[in-house]
Copies of this chain bind each other. A is one copy, B any other.
C-alpha cells in the first residue's frame, strides 16, 4: 500500500487563524504542531517541558527576560522548560512546534490567546 506523507504546505492551507497550533503528527506521547503566528504573543513558560520551535516560513523572534533569539526559515530553537518567553512575529510566520501531547500554548497562563491543544488537521 502507499502510505501518505505529511506535507507541511498542504497542512498549512487548512487553517488561517494565528496563535492556534494544529496537531499534524504524534511521536510516542509528543505532538508535532503547525502554527501561524503574527504580532505579539503573551509572556508565559512551560514549567514541565522544553519546547521546540522550527521556522517553516518567515521569521520568528523569541524574547526572553534576559535576551532574545531570531529564527529564520530553516532555523530552530529549544526553549528550556520553565524559561519565560514571548514569541513575536512582525510578519506572518509559520512554525512547527514539538512538545508533549497536552501542552497548552500559553503554559499556566490563562489568556484570550489560550488555544485548544487537541485539534488535528
- Interface residues, chain A, with chain B CB atoms under 8 Å away: 1-9, 25-28, 30, 32, 49-52, 56, 62, 64, 66-72, 74-78, 81, 98-100
Q: Which 9 A-B pairs have the closest CB atoms?
A: A3-B69, A1-B67, A5-B75, A6-B76, A8-B74, A27-B50, A7-B75, A5-B71, A27-B52
Once A52-B32, A98-B98 are accepted as A-B contacts, the answer to whether A72 and B5 lie under 8 Å apart by CB is: yes
Pairwise interchain contact B27-A76, C-beta atoms closer than 8 A: no
* Distance in Å: Cβ of A3 to nearest Cβ of chain B: 4
Dominant secondary structure at the A interface: strand
Chain B residues positioned under 8 Å from A3 (CB to CB):
62, 64, 67-69, 77
